[in-house]
Amino acid sequence: MTCFGVVFFAFFLSSCVTDSANSQRKTQGASSNSPTSVGPGEGRVLQDNPIIASKNPNLSYDANLSLYIQRTPVKIENGQFLTSQCGEQLSNIGKGLINECVRVTQNRNATQFNSPTSKWAFPVTSPEFLQVNTHYHINKRLDHFHNNIKTLYNHTWGDVDSPQPFSSYDTAIPKYIFDNNGHWKLGADTQTLRAFSDCELENNAEYSPANFTICLGYDAVFKDQVKFAQDDTVIYHELGHGLIDIMLNSRNKTASLSEAISFGYFYYDEAGALGEGLADFVSYVQELRTVFGEWALGRFNNAARPMSEREPMHVAGLAPNEDSRLMYPQYLNYDPNDPNSINEYRHQAGQIFSHFLVALAEDFESTDGCKMDKQTAANYVMKLVMESLAELGDRTSRGGDTRGLGYVNHSADHSTDWIRHVKPITYRQFLQTLSKYTMRLMGNPALNLCNGGVYGQDRLEKLIDSYGLLLFRSYNDKGNAVSSLRTSERQVIPTNRLKSSLVPKDLLIFDPRENASKAFVFDRRADINNALKNNPDIKPSPLIDSELKFNNGNAKISPGEVVGLALNLYNNSNTPMAGIQVLANDWDHVKWEDTAITKPYKQGKFCNNFGDEFPIIAEGGADTSTEGGATAGECKYITRENGDETAEQLAPVCMVQINDTNSTKWALQEELRTKLNLEADNCLGGADSPHDCFIRAIKGADSAWYSKMDPQKTWGNTMVGDNGGSPPFQFHNIIFFEVSPWIPPGTTFNCRFRTRFVNCEDCWEEKIGSTFDDYLDYEFSGGKPFKIINFQFTVID
């Protein structure tokens, strides 16, 4: 009886203490949270950020946060330092396990603190607590992440030591992902993720893929009290960038490549927006809550972000039903904290993606869907994302071990250019790829992942369409290689496209209104200097003066200048255009005529078969009348190797007007150089680059992005809205050209830009017979997928 009483008494006591992460969190008064109050390997953390833990949305910056830490200790680390393993040993020879994969310190220079007793309970205001909190949440997420990879691998390859392809499922996950640590970071020196829990960053946090570090800063006003590391959703978001980096490069790491792919290359592009939305979603997968950043971002800076239309911080009219979703592209510039503002910022543009991913997870949960529990559903969406990232980031161009070269991203030699700007990851492409894997996994009866049923194509497409994202007409299962089978692709059900609008590319034009200009010019010395300073990976030619002394700010294009140009394009349709791109990189638009002359000095004439019919033959254009389309070097033949074939060469966008005795013609810049007797070494790119001798788009600044254009408006009109004023041009909106000091004033150039947009009807796919298929990747070296825009200007003194 006495023993029974003791047991009963102990049970009675224990029921008063919170005991699991998912139980209601009750505070029991402030705790000193000292090491003596926990066992070895244990500590205490803020299981949620202080706003959630306190249930007080107006929690003060100087609130006693010790009231909100979880009373029941959690497992932290058995060793004496906050350094952990991750992954799991999946075979007898050690595959899968990563030693020392995370190290947490206060900041870069701080020594890792030592807990000799391995007890990790510290006052909540101490730097040690922040480190423990950071360590705990990072490892909690990494456990999920690696478990997802493991279960995905089990579906696909099975046994780690003797992987066999599963006949019913074609995966992008590499067969030898665990052999070469393809499930961890490519390219870092130590492969140890360094997390700094109290970094010297004001109002900021960051992930550095170059150094493999996470840096969690502090609030600019309440520097000592409000730290980003107190907010678990911020930790998950930053780590999310790292996990995206890892999965995007999993095939590259497995193939022992050294150069990684980035998810977004410009200050604004759709890949960057998708990355931000996905990083927010990582927080959802961990916490199953649909708001990110309530504490450090939301409470004091009005910058929290929702992930579901049901969140009250949204404007009225949004709801989680098929008619009221956060739609693309209408909500690309939307900030729920300031709905009247219009911002071209990837964090805002990524919200559509986070909302869609949450909605997909909720649909997997639903009784009509796959009847999954919340966590399982979120994990499966994450698995689909992992597959999509692994395929889309593949620099080997295979996209999967059972596929041939060129399935994705053109080729190993040109994959980086393809992903960066020739055929970048966009909302369209990611949703298409995600849909493909959804059908392969959740819609695959052989895998039986949908609780006895399958997740159907019709259901998926309706959900995607409710977000305005059903922008593709085939699932592109066969890939984009030259030899790809163009027919028998799974087709989107046409009647499912009710809200997603596709617009013909011909409706993207120069602003046709009276007195409208064709381009905005940026040539103020200070502005150009700032642009180059803030984008140090952009490098003008050595011929350009380092002081930019030729930049005269006269809004003209003058010899010796670096000039920014933003075409004044107009949406001539009744539907918003999104993800508008202007490309000024070299492309296949010249007929090379003398096969005896080798690169780079090939001679040729500009093609006129891209719909612009410019230049005509009498003005120096190529004669294509006898071309059959099968001979390399001709206009009707597009290079398969992005100009690497002997008979092919890409040409710069700008042609020059040359006045001969009897005629005026458009020609390659090399012809002008020869006519002027200018030494080849005096070309902008030196002797190896004669065809852009005088004017060229600077590599890295040779494409421009615009988030959205409203109907019957320019991008500028769209961005200023009803307020009017000057459009807020940023670096990614402008193409930067360098102008040789050797150009004779009065020389006229025509630059032939390729333009397109994401919700374009005929920029990404074409009809083959009665079905649709994506353009093969090589086509993007030419003009067919683009709207060609010609822009002429004269260089003045």
Partner 1 sequence: MKKASLLTLFILLVSAIYKIHQYSSDQHLEEWHTYSKAKNDNKQVVFWDSTEKELKQARVPDKEDIKRKPSSLSPKASKVKMLAGREITGEVDANTKHLKWTNSYHDDWKEKLGNSLLRFQEPDAKVMVKKNKSVVEIKKGKGRLMEHVTITYLLEGDETTSFNAWVDSETGEMIRTWNKTIKEPIGHNHERQILTPTGTL
Q: Which 451-510 residues touch partner 1, going by CB under 8 A?
A: none
Alpha helices in 369-475 (DSSP H): 374-392, 415-417, 427-441, 457-466
User: Taking the CB of residue 310, how many other CB atoms lie within 10 A of it?
Assistant: 14
Nearer to partner 1, 213 or 500 (CB): 213
Helix (H, G, I), strand (E, B) or coil at 344: coil
Candidate residues 127, 443, 468, 564; the one interacting with partner 1 per rule CB under 8 A = 564
**Are the CB atoms for 736 and 700 separated by under 8 Å?**
no
Tell me how far, at minimum, the Cβ of 93 lies from partner 1, in Å. 4
- HEC states along 302-321? CCCEECCCCCCCCCCCCCCC
Q: Does 181 bind partner 1 (CB under 8 A)?
A: yes
Q: Which residues of 252-291 are buried (b: 16+ CB within 10 A; e: fewer)?
A: bbbbebeebbbbbbbbbbbbbbbbbbbbbbbbbbbbebbb
Distance CA 348, CA 350 (A): 5
User: Taking the CB of residue 629, how many other CB atoms lie within 10 A of it?
Assistant: 10
By CB under 8 A, what part of segment 11-70 binds partner 1?
none
**Segment contacting partner 1 (CB under 8 A): 431-439, 563-571, 615-623, 675-683?**
563-571
**Are the CB atoms for 50 and 44 separated by under 8 Å?**
no
User: Taking the CB of residue 381, how many other CB atoms lie within 10 A of it?
Assistant: 24
Q: Does 367 bind partner 1 (CB under 8 A)?
A: no
Residues 6+ apart with CB under 8 A from 259: 187, 252, 395, 416
**Segment contacting partner 1 (CB under 8 A): 29-37, 149-157, 252-260, 497-505?**
252-260
Tell me how far, at minimum, the Cβ of 103 lies from partner 1, in Å. 7
Residues 6+ apart with CB under 8 A from 618: 663
Candidate residues 113, 169, 176, 601; the one interacting with partner 1 per rule CB under 8 A = 176
Distance CA 95, CA 87 (A): 9
Rg (CA), the chain: 29
By CB under 8 A, what part of segment 631-690 binds partner 1?
644
Nearer to partner 1, 256 or 677 (CB): 256
CA 58 to each of CA 50, 214, 283, 674, 743: distance values in angstroms, whole numbers, following the listed order: 10, 28, 22, 72, 63
Minimal CA–CA distance to 83: which of 180, 191, 189?
A: 191
By CB under 8 A, what part of segment 522-551 binds partner 1?
522-524, 527, 529-534, 536-537, 539, 546, 548
Tell me how far, at minimum, the Cβ of 401 lies from partner 1, in Å. 14
Candidate residues 208, 321, 451, 659; the one interacting with partner 1 per rule CB under 8 A = 208
Nearer to partner 1, 375 or 730 (CB): 730
Tell me how far, at minimum, the Cβ of 366 lies from partner 1, in Å. 33
Nearer to partner 1, 53 or 215 (CB): 215
Nearer to partner 1, 93 or 768 (CB): 93
Candidate residues 24, 36, 109, 625; the one interacting with partner 1 per rule CB under 8 A = 109
Nearer to partner 1, 234 or 463 (CB): 234
Q: Does 81 bind partner 1 (CB under 8 A)?
A: no
Candidate residues 149, 226, 255, 508; the one interacting with partner 1 per rule CB under 8 A = 255
Q: Which two tokens stand for residue 486?
A: 């163009």
Candidate residues 261, 431, 442, 795; the one interacting with partner 1 per rule CB under 8 A = 261
Nearer to partner 1, 32 or 534 (CB): 534
Helix or strand run (H / E) with residue 735:
strand 735-739
Tell me how far, at minimum, the Cβ of 481 lies from partner 1, in Å. 18
Distance CA 498, CA 521 (A): 40
Tell me how far, at minimum, the Cβ of 664 lies from partner 1, in Å. 20
Q: Which two tokens stand for residue 589?
A: 């638009």
Tell me how far, at minimum, the Cβ of 705 lies from partner 1, in Å. 13
CA 209 to each of CA 228, 249, 791: distance values in angstroms, whole numbers, following the listed order: 19, 11, 38
Residues 6+ apart with CB under 8 A from 724: none
**Segment contacting partner 1 (CB under 8 A): 145-153, 307-315, 554-562, 581-589?**
554-562
By CB under 8 A, what part of segment 268-307 binds partner 1?
275, 297, 301-303
Minimal CA–CA distance to 385: which of 349, 437, 423?
A: 437
Candidate residues 113, 169, 267, 601; the one interacting with partner 1 per rule CB under 8 A = 267
Candidate residues 88, 143, 170, 179; the one interacting with partner 1 per rule CB under 8 A = 179
Q: Which two tokens stand for residue 158?
A: 């099975």
Nearer to partner 1, 5 or 725 (CB): 725
By CB under 8 A, what part of segment 712-741 binds partner 1?
726, 728-731, 734
Instruction: State CA 243 to chain mean position distance.
Output: 13
Candidate residues 222, 520, 601, 614; the one interacting with partner 1 per rule CB under 8 A = 520
Q: How many residues of this chain interact with partner 1, rule: CB under 8 A?
A: 105
**Segment contacting partner 1 (CB under 8 A): 95-103, 369-377, 431-439, 488-496?**
95-103
Distance CA 497, CA 503 (A): 13
Q: Does 421 bind partner 1 (CB under 8 A)?
A: no
Tell me how far, at minimum, the Cβ of 683 lies from partner 1, in Å. 15
Residues 6+ apart with CB under 8 A from 15: none
Tell me how far, at minimum, the Cβ of 415 lies from partner 1, in Å. 12
**Segment contacting partner 1 (CB under 8 A): 209-217, 386-394, 435-443, 614-622?**
209-217
Distance CA 428, CA 468 (A): 10
By CB under 8 A, what part of segment 212-241 binds partner 1?
212-213, 215, 220, 234, 237-238, 241
Instruction: State CA 524 to chain mean position distance.
Output: 31
